[in-house]
A and B are shown apart, each in its own frame.
Chain A
Amino acid sequence: MTESPPIHGIDRLSTFFMDLLSHDVLNNNQAVLSYLELVLANPDLDAKARDYAEKAISHVRTSTVLVEHAKNLMAARTAGPNSFRPIDLMRSVMLAIKEVPRFFPTKKIRVRVVQEPTDAYVLGDALADDLVLNAFIDMVRTDPGDEVAIDVRIIKSEQGSKMCWSLVLSDPNAVLRPGMKSEDLSALLSQDNTKMVKMAGFLFASIASHLLGGEFVAKELGTGTGQGSEFVLTLVKAGKP
């Protein structure tokens, strides 16, 4: 497992700034969301304009989730690993399956749980929920099709001496853009922000999983067609609370 990235400048001031920033962004998202709702309430709105407004709402949701995830990540780093409580990984998956279509109103998303253990508890608290939702969102985002099919497995795994659970998301049509494979994430973690464009989700997944003592791997499925991706989120096994 790779080392957790160094913490740069995480101090009271940056936490305070993040807090203020997220508060203001969410307030602005509130205004955008509500005005779009007003637009959509017009029964005479033509279909194309309605479609645009609905797409804009989905982007407000994405923006909100990005801010909340960043805020939660900052809070978790400040609180430290002793604050992480056990969470049922399957429950996080079910929440994400319910939530993810709201971010992609024009896509048809089918999720098939092919391997589902009982009592797959991991250390992570709310951050694990964020991670799982983030993984689903990024998996759908990397699939260019209008119809997305994702297979989900939760399997036992080991990281050195640690017993873990791994959440595996597979999509035969997803395409990883250059730099999105896990072996390329080092470019992101070296803080070359010219390469971070559109990769905030991946960076979040990588940092948050390391923070929880696990890892996040994004790789090609090796179908030979240039398509097919698999995300593996591994988190440390915890006892049932």
Chain B
Amino acid sequence: MTSVLIVDDELFIVELYRDILQLRGYKVMGTAFDGEEALRKYNNSDNKPDVIIMDHRMPVMNGVDATKEIIRLNPSQKVIFVSADVLVEKEARDAGAADFLPKPFRMDDLIEKMEKISRFH
């Protein structure tokens, strides 16, 4: 079962991803509301998630900076960047994100990208 860490500062978005991904058979192993919390949870977990769904604009630490740190710790970690700001795509990919989805997206598109990434995990 593919495991996921969800990072977004909007509670309703986190709940939405969690509900849908669980319904679709994914294991949501954690959630975080800013980049720093994501980094802390990532560091403290023995089992790393197969995929991290990462937002960009968040308090304390944004998604690009969090992605850079996570990739520095584990270069093979798969991060799917999701943002309402399409201009951040290049920055996200440069930081090490495996893929990018502009909001709003269809959950089927996210799941397709997660499946594609998981196959190479």
**Identity of the chain A residue whose Cβ is nearest the Cβ of B106 in the assembled complex:** A37
What separation, in Å, do the CA atoms of A34 and B104 have in the docked complex?
9
B40 at the interface (CB under 8 A from A): no
- Asked whether, in the complex, the Cβ of A33 is within 8 Å of the Cβ of B106, the reply is yes
**Identity of the chain A residue whose Cβ is nearest the Cβ of B56 in the assembled complex:** A23
B6, chain A: closest CB distance, angstroms = 13
Residue from A31, A37, A64 having most chain B Cβ neighbours under 10 A:
A31
Q: B residues 74-108 with Cβ under 8 Å of A?
A: 84-85, 103-108
A17, chain B: closest CB distance, angstroms = 15
- Asked whether, in the complex, the Cβ of A30 is within 8 Å of the Cβ of B85, the reply is no
- Asked whether, in the complex, the Cβ of A26 is within 8 Å of the Cβ of B20, the reply is no
What separation, in Å, do the CA atoms of A181 and B82 have in the docked complex?
40
B12 at the interface (CB under 8 A from A): yes
B85, chain A: closest CB distance, angstroms = 7
What separation, in Å, do the CA atoms of A200 and B98 have in the docked complex?
37
- Asked whether, in the complex, the Cβ of B107 is within 8 Å of the Cβ of A26, the reply is no
- Asked whether, in the complex, the Cβ of B107 is within 8 Å of the Cβ of A37, the reply is yes
Count chain B residues whose beta carbon lies closer than 8 angstroms to a beta carbon of A.
16
B48 at the interface (CB under 8 A from A): no
* Interface size class, chain A: 10 to 19
What separation, in Å, do the CA atoms of A31 and B20 have in the docked complex?
11
Question: Between A and B, how many residue pairs show CB distances below 8 Å?
Answer: 41
Residue from A30, A33, A38 having most chain B Cβ neighbours under 10 A:
A30
- Asked whether, in the complex, the Cβ of B104 is within 8 Å of the Cβ of A33, the reply is yes
Interfacial chain B residues near A22, Cβ < 8 Å: 84
- Asked whether, in the complex, the Cβ of B85 is within 8 Å of the Cβ of A23, the reply is yes
What separation, in Å, do the CA atoms of A38 and B23 have in the docked complex?
10
What separation, in Å, do the CA atoms of A60 and B84 have in the docked complex?
14
- Asked whether, in the complex, the Cβ of B103 is within 8 Å of the Cβ of A29, the reply is yes
B62, chain A: closest CB distance, angstroms = 12
Q: B residues 103-121 with Cβ under 8 Å of A?
A: 103-108
- Asked whether, in the complex, the Cβ of B104 is within 8 Å of the Cβ of A26, the reply is yes
Q: A residues 6-42 with Cβ under 8 Å of B?
A: 22-23, 26-27, 29-35, 37-38
- Asked whether, in the complex, the Cβ of A27 is within 8 Å of the Cβ of B107, the reply is no
Which 3 pairs of residues, A with B, have the shortest CB-CB distance? A26-B84, A30-B104, A29-B104
Residue contacts A-B, CB under 8 angstroms, 23 given: A22-B84, A23-B57, A23-B85, A26-B104, A27-B10, A27-B13, A27-B84, A29-B103, A30-B103, A30-B104, A30-B105, A31-B13, A32-B104, A33-B105, A33-B106, A34-B16, A34-B106, A34-B107, A35-B16, A37-B106, A38-B19, A38-B20, A64-B104
13 more contacts with CB within 8 A, not counting A31-B13, A38-B19, are: A22-B84, A26-B84, A26-B103, A30-B13, A30-B16, A30-B84, A34-B20, A34-B104, A34-B106, A34-B107, A37-B20, A37-B107, A60-B104
